[in-house]
Amino acid sequence: MLKKINLRLLLTIIISLADDAIIILILFFILSWFGIEMPIWLIIILAIVFSIITYVLYRTLKKNPLLGFENMVGKSGIAINKITRDGIIKIGRELWAAKASQENIEEGEEVTVIAQTGLKLTVIRKNLEES
């Protein structure tokens, strides 16, 4: 299955590579018009440095977002207290207000988020999800 392309990441890489190409063209061609010669080894080193910067930028922007409001459905956590109508669960290092989908969930049980309304998560027992 094809992964969804991150447009922001793609544009950043294209712009960064275009900047690198423009700088190298300036160094190589335009400066030579004015009688300023750059050694080819310096141009190659600059190209390598710019490529490394582009790669670091790519790796930085490629990282998955931290837990947050938009991406909680499907996450797993642990019930901090008994969840009847209302309770608290822990996902990663964050505490979230939660409510049980159908039946009560005991303290310490693993849960899975099935829905989100505002800042409140609707959860089910992890073993219910698997069956």
How many Cα atoms are found within 13 Å in the side-chain-facing hemisphere of 102? Answer: 7
CB-based contact 29:35 (threshold 8 Å): no
| Helices of type H across 26-125 | 31-33, 40-62
Number of independent structural domains in the chain? 2
pLDDT at 6 over 80: no
pTM for the predicted model, two decimal places: 0.46
Residues 53 and 34 in one domain: yes
User: Given the structure tokens 């499907």, which residue do they identify?
Assistant: 74
Instruction: Tell me how far apart the alpha carbons of residues 49 and 45 are, in angstroms, rounded to a whole number.
Output: 6
Residues 47 and 76 in one domain: no
Instruction: Tell me how far apart the alpha carbons of residues 30 and 7 are, in angstroms, rounded to a whole number.
Output: 33
Is 2 contained in some domain? no
For residue 87, give its domain range: 69-130
Residues 47 and 80 in one domain: no
Confidence band of 1 (pLDDT split at 50, 70, 90): very low
pLDDT tens digits along 38-66: 788 887 888 788 888 878 877 777 666 55
Confidence band of 130 (pLDDT split at 50, 70, 90): low
For residue 104, the model assigns a pLDDT of: 82
